[in-house]
Amino acid sequence: MPRDRDVAAFAKRAGGYEEGWLGRLHHEIADRSADLALAPVPAPRRVARFQAGAAEHLPEPDGAFDLVVSTTSFDHWADQQSGLRECARVMAPGGRLVLVGQFSPLYLPTLIGSRRGKARTRRRATRLLIRAGFRSPEWHALYAVIIGAVTASR
Ligand SMILES: C[S@@+](CC[C@H](N)C(=O)[O-])C[C@H]1O[C@@H](n2cnc3c(N)ncnc32)[C@H](O)[C@@H]1O
């Protein structure tokens, strides 16, 4: 299975991604993620331009960012541990990570199926974060019971 299978699948859906009830759901999650990310820094001085890339190989130098935000992408990363290590690498010491995704006990049944190796619970994701070098993970409910968020320091 190609490592970027999910990227290709989402690229096909991109045209209609913001349409309908699902589009409104995506917006709502993105807005709440932005609120969470900006809570401690309401007026950031600089925001990088968006750039396409895989989480496992971020095209950025070490220590480049004070804030890294990921919304509902983590579950699709082919190698979640490598992706989090990359997030840690591109962040400056003291920087903040906001990771929003499918974290819920409701996903437990899926962990014995096709999503077996995924960090879909707080416990699994916390373990990967600590291994990647993050400190003080704090969990937040973000959307209903299905989408959670964790903030952590570099
Ligand atoms: C559910 S969409 C979320 C899109 C957007 N972040 C949002 O909040 O609406 C999942 C996204 O994860 C991306 N993705 C899949 N694998 C990835 C990877 N290894 N690294 C980075 N992004 C990945 C897909 O291309 C897709 O854009």
Q: Could you read off the pLDDT of 12-57 as tens digits, one per residue?
A: 999 999 999 999 999 999 999 999 999 998 887 777 797 788 999 9
What is the sign of the dihedral through the CA atoms of 50, 52, 55 and 60?
negative
pLDDT of residue 106: 94
Question: Which residues sit with their C-beta closer than 6 Å to ligand 1?
Answer: 6-7, 10, 26, 30, 54-56, 71-73, 76-78
CA distances from 9 to 13, 15, 102, 119 (A): 7, 12, 18, 21
* The residue type at 19: E
Best of 4, 72, 76, 81 for a ligand 1 pocket test (most atoms within 8 Å of beta carbon): 76
**pLDDT digits over 137-151, tens only?**
999 999 999 999 999
Domains of the chain plus CATH, in order, are 5-43+62-153 (3.40.50)
Distance between Cα 7 and ligand 1 center (Å): 7
Strands 91-101 and 135-143: unpaired
Distance between Cα 89 and ligand 1 center (Å): 20
Query: Could you give the CA distance from residue 96 to residue 67 in angstroms, rounded to a whole number?
Result: 5
* The residue type at 55: A
Strands 147-153 and 135-143: antiparallel
Q: Residue 137 CA to chain centroid, in angstroms?
A: 14
Per the CB < 8 A criterion, the answer to whether 57 and 78 are in contact is no
**pLDDT digits over 109-126, tens only?**
999 988 899 999 999 999
Distance between Cα 76 and ligand 1 center (Å): 7
pTM of the entire predicted model: 0.94
Interior/surface letters 74-99, b for 16+ CB within 10 angstroms, e for the rest: bbbbbebbbbbbbbbbbbeeebbbbb
